[in-house]
Amino acid sequence: MIKSNESKYFAAVDSREAALTELSQKVWEYAEPGLQEKQSAKAIADYLESEGFRVQRGVGTIPTAICAEYGSGHPVIAYLGEYDALARLDQKVVTHKEAAHPEEPDRYGHGCGHNNLGVGAVGAAIMLKEAIAAGEVKGTVRFYGCPAEETLVGKVFMVRDGAFKDVDCAMTWHSHAYNGAWGACYTCMNSVKFHFHGIAAHAAGHPFDGRSALDAVELMNVSANYMREHVKPDVRIHYATICSCAPNVVPDECSVWYYIRAPKRKDVDEVYSWLCDCAKGAALMTQTTFDIEFLTGCSEVMPNDVLEKVMLEAYKDTGAPKFTPEDYAFAKEIAETYPEVLARDRRVMKEEYGVNGDDKFLCDVVFDKVIEDRLVAPGSTDVGDVSHVVPTYQIYVAGQGIGCPGHSWQMTAYSGSHVGFASMLCAAKVMGLSGLRLLENPELVKEAWDNFHKNQTEPYVSPLPADLLPNLEQTN
Ligand SMILES: [Zn+2]
């Protein structure tokens, strides 16, 4: 139940509804690639500064990262917020597919709702700031602007560079079709490019003078596909060949980009080492050379039972996002573009979480049961690395319709609509209230750390080489 001293801080979010919505809308319109979120980071940093936060622009090796804080001493409560967009997902806020900037086909769009993630975390930080400023609670609130989540770069580098070393608890959220605590573990991952170098030659006249870098990539991929049978069943290996060659030239340059995923870091490391041997073999077979560009890696998410309880209680007390009749009408109309997934997700709601959503297009209740509780979900997130250095927890807030596909034009439309903004305001309140309760009851922070130590069975090692710099040009 909400106490009266808590409900008054909801006003900190409500009174800024227009400003927060405008900020989110701005970030949605900028729609910048990961590590290039210059305008988005500036808009967020400027806003936090106007709210009285001490703002650091650029964190460690990442220029578009932000660390903004208010208050002093421990506990230090951190909110993690993103603002990177996805390639080729430009879209208007309408219920049919229509680019907002058709003249720019490669334009990025917020097809994962990160405009709302970042600003939701800003709202939470402001709510807690107000409580600290009023002398209601003691401690520090921090907003971490975390670039390039989609490419799993930002937080992993920030963790390696020590950005979270004095944080007591971290919280974050993601847009979803459902409302609830999010208990999934996700997979560890390495993202690596192998660049092969050969000798160019006329493909018909002098092929014997050439050495094909594309042949090397093809042989490496063949060997990786044979290796696939002999790795653990839950290992995932995906690749994309990068070659701008034509059939009439023996290509001297060709690259292949691999992702390796597995529930445990040890398995990723083993498969990665085997894959490097595949590259060596391919180079030997084709008389080419190669070098490795290690882009990033990330770790699995370590849930925290104590923060889970705190956040789920705060969520139930706050309630689901406040949707308008227009939001429901928008969701009903756009759902015509994903009828199968709508039916499946309604089934999941009923069978897994006991919520009858048969006539719903937007989820307007908070689930009692933890979503994907301790499951190894197939994707990866850089929140994982934060969760290995500080007790961390995330919630899902409905910022999209039931059944809305992820990374899609529909998602870009939702993220720029009132549905997305309603989820952002809700997330701000749930995370703000959770932070308030942690500062009111510092023994919960200690319990969160006890649980952290219990769950962490092996010491955390960054998946990144110590001297690796982020590739600021890397956008996909
Ligand atoms: Zn996302």
Reported as a single tens digit per residue, the pLDDT across 12-46 is 999 999 999 999 999 999 999 999 999 999 999 99
Reported as a single tens digit per residue, the pLDDT across 404-423 is 999 999 999 999 999 999 99
What 3-state class would DSSP assign to 297?
Answer: strand
CA distance 114 to 414: 11
CB 195 within 8 A of CB 248: no
Q: Which pair of tokens denotes residue 397?
A: 């807030």
Cα-to-centroid distance, 280 and ligand 1 (Å): 35
Quick one: CA dihedral 84, 87, 92, 93, positive or negative? Answer: negative
**CA torsion angle 196 201 207 213 (round to 10):** 10
Cα-to-centroid distance, 112 and ligand 1 (Å): 5
CA distance 363 to 179: 7
pLDDT at residue 475 in the model: 59
Reported as a single tens digit per residue, the pLDDT across 231-288 is 999 999 999 999 888 999 999 999 999 999 999 999 999 999 999 999 999 999 999 9
CA distance 289 to 261: 26
CB 115 within 8 A of CB 415: yes
pLDDT at residue 81 in the model: 98
Helix or strand holding residue 175 (H, E): strand 169-176
Cα-to-centroid distance, 45 and ligand 1 (Å): 21
Residue 226, Cβ density class (10 Å: 0-12 exposed, 13-18 middle, ≥19 buried): exposed
Cα-to-centroid distance, 284 and ligand 1 (Å): 40
Helix or strand holding residue 217 (H, E): helix 213-227
86 DSSP assignment: B
pTM for the full predicted model: 0.95
CB 176 within 8 A of CB 400: yes
Instruction: Tell me how long the chain is.
Output: 476
Contacts for 190 with CB less than 8 Å, ≥ 6 apart: 258, 259, 260, 268, 272, 294, 296, 297, 463
Cα-to-centroid distance, 151 and ligand 1 (Å): 10
Cα-to-centroid distance, 105 and ligand 1 (Å): 22
Within 10 angstroms of residue 376's Cβ, the number of other Cβ atoms is 17
405 DSSP assignment: P
pLDDT at residue 33 in the model: 96
Cα-to-centroid distance, 166 and ligand 1 (Å): 26
Longest CA pairwise span in the chain (Å): 84
Cα-to-centroid distance, 411 and ligand 1 (Å): 10
CA distance 116 to 424: 5
Cα-to-centroid distance, 80 and ligand 1 (Å): 12
pLDDT at residue 438 in the model: 98
Cα-to-centroid distance, 81 and ligand 1 (Å): 11
Cα-to-centroid distance, 113 and ligand 1 (Å): 7
109 DSSP assignment: B
What 3-state class would DSSP assign to 18?
Answer: helix
What b/e sequence results for 151-169 when a residue is b if at least 16 CB atoms lie within 10 Å of its CB, and e otherwise?
bbbbbbbbbbbebbeebbb
Cα-to-centroid distance, 310 and ligand 1 (Å): 23
Bridge partners, 296 (sequence order): 191
Q: How far is CA 235 from the centre of its chain?
A: 21
pLDDT, tens digit only, all 476 positions of the chain: 888 888 899 999 999 999 999 999 999 999 999 999 999 999 999 999 999 999 999 999 999 999 999 999 999 999 999 999 999 999 999 999 999 999 999 999 999 999 999 999 999 999 999 999 999 999 999 999 999 999 999 999 999 999 999 999 999 999 999 999 999 999 999 999 999 999 999 999 999 999 999 999 999 999 999 999 999 999 999 999 998 889 999 999 999 999 999 999 999 999 999 999 999 999 999 999 999 999 999 999 999 999 999 999 999 999 999 999 999 999 999 999 999 999 999 999 999 999 999 999 999 999 999 999 999 988 899 999 999 999 999 999 999 999 999 999 999 999 999 999 999 999 999 999 999 999 999 999 999 999 999 999 889 999 999 999 998 886 55
Bridge partners, 161 (sequence order): none
Bridge partners, 172 (sequence order): 394
Helices (H), 242-324: 265-286, 305-318
CA distance 166 to 81: 18
Cα-to-centroid distance, 128 and ligand 1 (Å): 24
Contacts for 236 with CB less than 8 Å, ≥ 6 apart: 187, 259, 260, 261, 262, 378
Reported as a single tens digit per residue, the pLDDT across 145-156 is 999 999 999 999
Quick one: CA dihedral 459, 464, 465, 469, positive or negative? Answer: negative
Cα-to-centroid distance, 192 and ligand 1 (Å): 21
Q: 4-186+300-455 adopts what CATH topology?
A: Aminopeptidase (3.40.630)
Bridge partners, 371 (sequence order): 182
Cα-to-centroid distance, 230 and ligand 1 (Å): 32
Q: 188-298 adopts what CATH topology?
A: Alpha-Beta Plaits (3.30.70)
Whether 4-186+300-455 and 188-298 share one fold: the answer is no
What 3-state class would DSSP assign to 336?
Answer: helix
Domain edges within the chain: 4-186+300-455, 188-298
Peptide bond into 442 cis (omega under 30): no
CA distance 94 to 83: 22
Cα-to-centroid distance, 463 and ligand 1 (Å): 21
